[in-house]
Structure 1
Amino acid sequence: MFDVGLGEMAVLVVLALVIFGDRLPQVAGQAGRMLRQVRQMANSARSDLQEGLGPEFKDFDIADLNPKTFVRKHLLEDDDTYTPPRANGKIFDDEPSYATAAGRLDHGERPPFDNEAT
Protein backbone atom coordinates (compact mmCIF):
# COMPACT_ATOMS: atom_id res chain seq x y z
CA MET A 1 0.00 0.00 0.00
CA PHE A 2 1.36 3.43 -1.00
CA ASP A 3 4.59 1.69 -2.09
CA VAL A 4 6.20 2.12 1.35
CA GLY A 5 8.88 -0.41 2.20
CA LEU A 6 10.02 -1.70 5.57
CA GLY A 7 12.86 0.85 5.82
CA GLU A 8 10.60 3.80 5.06
CA MET A 9 8.03 2.51 7.56
CA ALA A 10 10.69 2.29 10.29
CA VAL A 11 11.80 5.87 9.56
CA LEU A 12 8.18 7.06 9.76
CA VAL A 13 7.69 5.31 13.14
CA VAL A 14 10.87 6.82 14.57
CA LEU A 15 9.89 10.24 13.22
CA ALA A 16 6.43 9.91 14.80
CA LEU A 17 8.02 9.01 18.16
CA VAL A 18 10.30 12.05 18.00
CA ILE A 19 7.56 14.49 16.95
CA PHE A 20 4.68 13.29 19.15
CA GLY A 21 6.62 11.68 22.01
CA ASP A 22 4.36 10.70 24.89
CA ARG A 23 1.23 11.97 23.05
CA LEU A 24 1.57 9.25 20.36
CA PRO A 25 -1.16 6.96 21.83
CA GLN A 26 -3.60 9.90 21.92
CA VAL A 27 -2.77 10.89 18.34
CA ALA A 28 -3.13 7.29 17.14
CA GLY A 29 -6.52 7.02 18.87
CA GLN A 30 -7.72 10.25 17.25
CA ALA A 31 -6.51 9.05 13.84
CA GLY A 32 -8.38 5.75 14.31
CA ARG A 33 -11.60 7.54 15.27
CA MET A 34 -11.27 9.88 12.30
CA LEU A 35 -10.75 6.94 9.92
CA ARG A 36 -13.81 5.20 11.38
CA GLN A 37 -15.92 8.34 10.86
CA VAL A 38 -14.74 8.68 7.25
CA ARG A 39 -15.68 5.05 6.57
CA GLN A 40 -19.13 5.58 8.12
CA MET A 41 -19.66 8.69 5.98
CA ALA A 42 -18.64 6.82 2.82
CA ASN A 43 -20.95 3.90 3.62
CA SER A 44 -23.79 6.32 4.36
CA ALA A 45 -23.25 8.18 1.08
CA ARG A 46 -23.17 4.87 -0.83
CA SER A 47 -26.42 3.67 0.72
CA ASP A 48 -28.09 7.06 0.10
CA LEU A 49 -27.03 6.93 -3.54
CA GLN A 50 -28.33 3.38 -3.98
CA GLU A 51 -31.63 4.34 -2.33
CA GLY A 52 -31.97 7.40 -4.55
CA LEU A 53 -31.33 5.46 -7.76
CA GLY A 54 -34.15 3.03 -7.05
CA PRO A 55 -34.59 -0.73 -7.31
CA GLU A 56 -33.40 -0.99 -10.93
CA PHE A 57 -29.88 -0.09 -9.74
CA LYS A 58 -29.78 -2.45 -6.76
CA ASP A 59 -26.58 -4.10 -8.08
CA PHE A 60 -24.88 -0.73 -8.63
CA ASP A 61 -21.43 -0.41 -7.13
CA ILE A 62 -19.49 2.84 -6.74
CA ALA A 63 -16.41 1.08 -8.13
CA ASP A 64 -18.27 0.77 -11.46
CA LEU A 65 -17.72 4.52 -11.95
CA ASN A 66 -13.96 3.96 -12.20
CA PRO A 67 -13.16 3.99 -15.96
CA LYS A 68 -10.89 0.93 -15.73
CA THR A 69 -13.57 -1.05 -13.91
CA PHE A 70 -16.25 0.12 -16.35
CA VAL A 71 -14.24 -0.97 -19.39
CA ARG A 72 -13.30 -4.28 -17.80
CA LYS A 73 -16.89 -5.02 -16.78
CA HIS A 74 -18.72 -3.89 -19.91
CA LEU A 75 -16.25 -4.41 -22.71
CA LEU A 76 -13.80 -7.09 -21.67
CA GLU A 77 -16.06 -9.55 -19.83
CA ASP A 78 -16.99 -12.77 -21.57
CA ASP A 79 -20.13 -12.20 -23.59
CA ASP A 80 -22.25 -15.05 -24.94
CA THR A 81 -23.07 -13.15 -28.13
CA TYR A 82 -19.48 -12.42 -29.20
CA THR A 83 -16.91 -15.01 -30.17
CA PRO A 84 -13.49 -13.55 -31.05
CA PRO A 85 -11.54 -15.08 -33.95
CA ARG A 86 -9.11 -17.75 -32.83
CA ALA A 87 -6.10 -19.49 -34.33
CA ASN A 88 -4.65 -22.50 -32.54
CA GLY A 89 -6.85 -21.68 -29.56
CA LYS A 90 -5.47 -18.14 -29.21
CA ILE A 91 -7.13 -14.82 -30.00
CA PHE A 92 -5.55 -12.93 -32.90
CA ASP A 93 -3.61 -10.14 -31.22
CA ASP A 94 -1.96 -8.83 -34.37
CA GLU A 95 -5.17 -8.16 -36.33
CA PRO A 96 -5.18 -4.41 -37.03
CA SER A 97 -8.39 -2.46 -36.54
CA TYR A 98 -7.84 -0.65 -39.84
CA ALA A 99 -8.02 -3.75 -42.03
CA THR A 100 -10.28 -3.04 -44.99
CA ALA A 101 -12.29 -5.23 -47.33
CA ALA A 102 -9.67 -4.60 -50.02
CA GLY A 103 -6.89 -5.77 -47.70
CA ARG A 104 -4.53 -4.52 -45.06
CA LEU A 105 -2.61 -1.30 -45.23
CA ASP A 106 1.15 -1.57 -45.39
CA HIS A 107 3.18 -0.27 -42.48
CA GLY A 108 3.28 3.51 -42.68
CA GLU A 109 0.65 3.67 -45.44
CA ARG A 110 -2.10 6.21 -44.79
CA PRO A 111 -5.74 5.18 -45.03
CA PRO A 112 -7.84 6.62 -47.85
CA PHE A 113 -9.09 10.15 -47.20
CA ASP A 114 -11.89 12.01 -48.97
CA ASN A 115 -11.29 15.77 -49.06
CA GLU A 116 -14.89 16.47 -50.06
CA ALA A 117 -16.36 14.54 -47.11
CA THR A 118 -15.85 17.33 -44.61
Structure 2
Amino acid sequence: MFFDMGPLEVVTLAILAVLLFGPDKLPEIIQNVVGFLRKVREFSDSAKEEIRSELGPEFRDFEFEDLHPKTFVRKHVLDGDSLGLDEIRSALDPRADLAQVADAVREATTESPREPVTPEHVSLTKDAQSGSPAHAAAFDPDAT
Protein backbone atom coordinates (compact mmCIF):
# COMPACT_ATOMS: atom_id res chain seq x y z
CA MET A 1 0.00 0.00 0.00
CA PHE A 2 2.82 2.38 0.83
CA PHE A 3 5.12 1.72 -2.13
CA ASP A 4 6.91 5.06 -2.22
CA MET A 5 6.89 5.71 1.51
CA GLY A 6 9.49 4.69 4.03
CA PRO A 7 8.82 3.74 7.63
CA LEU A 8 9.80 7.20 8.91
CA GLU A 9 7.24 8.84 6.61
CA VAL A 10 4.50 6.46 7.75
CA VAL A 11 5.28 7.20 11.41
CA THR A 12 5.27 10.94 10.65
CA LEU A 13 1.84 10.67 8.99
CA ALA A 14 0.50 8.66 11.94
CA ILE A 15 1.72 11.30 14.41
CA LEU A 16 0.21 14.08 12.29
CA ALA A 17 -3.11 12.21 12.12
CA VAL A 18 -3.20 11.82 15.90
CA LEU A 19 -2.36 15.50 16.36
CA LEU A 20 -4.90 16.73 13.78
CA PHE A 21 -7.87 14.51 14.58
CA GLY A 22 -7.14 13.48 18.16
CA PRO A 23 -7.05 9.99 19.57
CA ASP A 24 -10.86 9.94 20.04
CA LYS A 25 -11.90 10.57 16.42
CA LEU A 26 -8.99 8.79 14.72
CA PRO A 27 -10.57 5.25 14.72
CA GLU A 28 -13.77 6.65 13.23
CA ILE A 29 -11.85 8.49 10.48
CA ILE A 30 -9.81 5.36 9.68
CA GLN A 31 -13.07 3.35 9.34
CA ASN A 32 -14.51 5.99 7.02
CA VAL A 33 -11.40 6.03 4.83
CA VAL A 34 -11.26 2.23 4.63
CA GLY A 35 -14.98 2.11 3.74
CA PHE A 36 -14.45 4.70 1.02
CA LEU A 37 -11.53 2.73 -0.44
CA ARG A 38 -13.65 -0.45 -0.47
CA LYS A 39 -16.43 1.36 -2.34
CA VAL A 40 -13.99 2.72 -4.91
CA ARG A 41 -12.50 -0.74 -5.41
CA GLU A 42 -15.95 -2.32 -5.81
CA PHE A 43 -16.93 0.39 -8.29
CA SER A 44 -13.80 -0.16 -10.40
CA ASP A 45 -14.26 -3.97 -10.33
CA SER A 46 -17.89 -3.65 -11.43
CA ALA A 47 -16.89 -1.23 -14.20
CA LYS A 48 -14.23 -3.69 -15.43
CA GLU A 49 -16.74 -6.55 -15.44
CA GLU A 50 -19.28 -4.43 -17.29
CA ILE A 51 -16.73 -3.51 -19.95
CA ARG A 52 -15.71 -7.18 -20.34
CA SER A 53 -19.34 -8.25 -20.71
CA GLU A 54 -20.00 -5.51 -23.29
CA LEU A 55 -16.92 -6.49 -25.33
CA GLY A 56 -18.24 -10.01 -25.82
CA PRO A 57 -16.96 -13.54 -25.36
CA GLU A 58 -13.90 -13.11 -27.59
CA PHE A 59 -12.44 -10.67 -25.04
CA ARG A 60 -13.08 -12.88 -22.03
CA ASP A 61 -9.34 -13.12 -21.24
CA PHE A 62 -8.83 -9.37 -21.66
CA GLU A 63 -6.88 -7.75 -18.84
CA PHE A 64 -6.75 -3.99 -18.31
CA GLU A 65 -3.13 -4.24 -17.20
CA ASP A 66 -2.32 -5.25 -20.80
CA LEU A 67 -3.14 -1.69 -21.87
CA HIS A 68 -0.02 -0.39 -20.14
CA PRO A 69 2.47 0.39 -22.96
CA LYS A 70 5.31 -1.74 -21.58
CA THR A 71 3.05 -4.73 -21.01
CA PHE A 72 1.43 -4.28 -24.42
CA VAL A 73 4.79 -4.25 -26.24
CA ARG A 74 6.11 -7.19 -24.21
CA LYS A 75 3.01 -9.30 -24.86
CA HIS A 76 2.31 -8.53 -28.50
CA VAL A 77 5.70 -7.75 -29.99
CA LEU A 78 8.48 -9.34 -27.99
CA ASP A 79 6.84 -12.62 -26.93
CA GLY A 80 5.24 -13.45 -30.24
CA ASP A 81 7.54 -13.81 -33.22
CA SER A 82 5.05 -12.59 -35.80
CA LEU A 83 7.47 -9.90 -36.98
CA GLY A 84 10.46 -12.20 -37.46
CA LEU A 85 12.42 -10.67 -34.61
CA ASP A 86 14.31 -13.92 -33.95
CA GLU A 87 15.65 -13.92 -37.50
CA ILE A 88 16.76 -10.30 -37.18
CA ARG A 89 18.42 -10.97 -33.83
CA SER A 90 20.28 -13.98 -35.19
CA ALA A 91 21.39 -12.05 -38.28
CA LEU A 92 22.75 -9.18 -36.18
CA ASP A 93 24.34 -11.39 -33.52
CA PRO A 94 28.13 -11.48 -34.12
CA ARG A 95 28.74 -14.40 -31.74
CA ALA A 96 28.36 -17.09 -34.40
CA ASP A 97 30.77 -15.34 -36.77
CA LEU A 98 33.27 -14.73 -33.99
CA ALA A 99 33.08 -18.37 -32.94
CA GLN A 100 33.86 -19.46 -36.53
CA VAL A 101 36.85 -17.10 -36.68
CA ALA A 102 38.11 -18.31 -33.32
CA ASP A 103 37.82 -21.94 -34.43
CA ALA A 104 39.70 -21.16 -37.66
CA VAL A 105 42.49 -19.46 -35.70
CA ARG A 106 42.73 -22.40 -33.30
CA GLU A 107 42.94 -24.86 -36.19
CA ALA A 108 45.59 -22.78 -37.94
CA THR A 109 47.73 -22.57 -34.82
CA THR A 110 47.48 -26.29 -34.02
CA GLU A 111 48.23 -27.42 -37.61
CA SER A 112 51.41 -25.39 -38.14
CA PRO A 113 54.37 -26.68 -36.13
CA ARG A 114 56.14 -24.04 -34.16
CA GLU A 115 59.82 -23.54 -34.50
CA PRO A 116 61.65 -22.77 -31.30
CA VAL A 117 62.57 -19.12 -31.10
CA THR A 118 66.12 -18.44 -29.95
CA PRO A 119 66.48 -15.04 -28.33
CA GLU A 120 69.50 -12.92 -29.04
CA HIS A 121 72.16 -12.89 -26.36
CA VAL A 122 71.73 -9.84 -24.19
CA SER A 123 74.30 -8.97 -21.60
CA LEU A 124 72.88 -7.99 -18.27
CA THR A 125 76.14 -6.60 -16.93
CA LYS A 126 76.96 -2.93 -17.04
CA ASP A 127 79.74 -2.08 -19.45
CA ALA A 128 82.35 0.49 -18.62
CA GLN A 129 81.51 2.37 -21.81
CA SER A 130 77.79 2.67 -21.14
CA GLY A 131 78.39 5.66 -18.85
CA SER A 132 80.05 7.59 -21.66
CA PRO A 133 78.04 10.27 -23.43
CA ALA A 134 78.37 8.44 -26.76
CA HIS A 135 76.20 5.55 -25.54
CA ALA A 136 73.73 7.69 -23.58
CA ALA A 137 70.25 7.88 -24.98
CA ALA A 138 69.42 11.08 -26.78
CA PHE A 139 67.01 13.27 -24.86
CA ASP A 140 65.15 16.14 -26.40
CA PRO A 141 63.65 18.41 -23.70
CA ASP A 142 61.51 20.23 -26.29
CA ALA A 143 59.78 17.01 -27.34
CA THR A 144 57.90 16.59 -24.08
TM-score, with length taken from structure 2 = 0.56
In terms of fraction of residues, the more helix-rich structure is: 2
Instruction: Tell me the CA shift for residue 8 of structure 1.
Output: 1.0
Instruction: Tell me the CA shift for residue 55 of structure 1.
Output: 0.6
Q: Does 1:60 align with 2:62?
A: yes
Show the counterpart of 2:73: 71
* Aligned residues with identical type, % of pairs: 42
Q: Tell me which of the two structures has the higher relative contact order, counting C-alpha pairs closer than 8 angstroms and 6 or more residues apart.
A: 1
Q: Please, what is the CA RMSD of the aligned residues? A: 1.9
> After TM superposition, which residue ranges in structure 1, 4 or more long, deviate above 4 angstroms?
none
Q: Which moved more, 1:32-41 or 1:72-81?
A: 72-81
For residues 16 and 78 of structure 2, the distance between their equivalents in structure 1, rounded to whole angstroms, comes to: 46
Show the counterpart of 2:5: 4
Show the counterpart of 1:30: 32
- Render the CA deviation track for 1:88-116: whole Å, top value 9, x for unaligned: 48xxxxxxxxxxxxxxxxxxxxxxxxxxx
Consecutive unaligned residues in structure 2, runs of 5 or more: 97-144
**Matched pairs, number:** 89
Show the counterpart of 1:14: 15
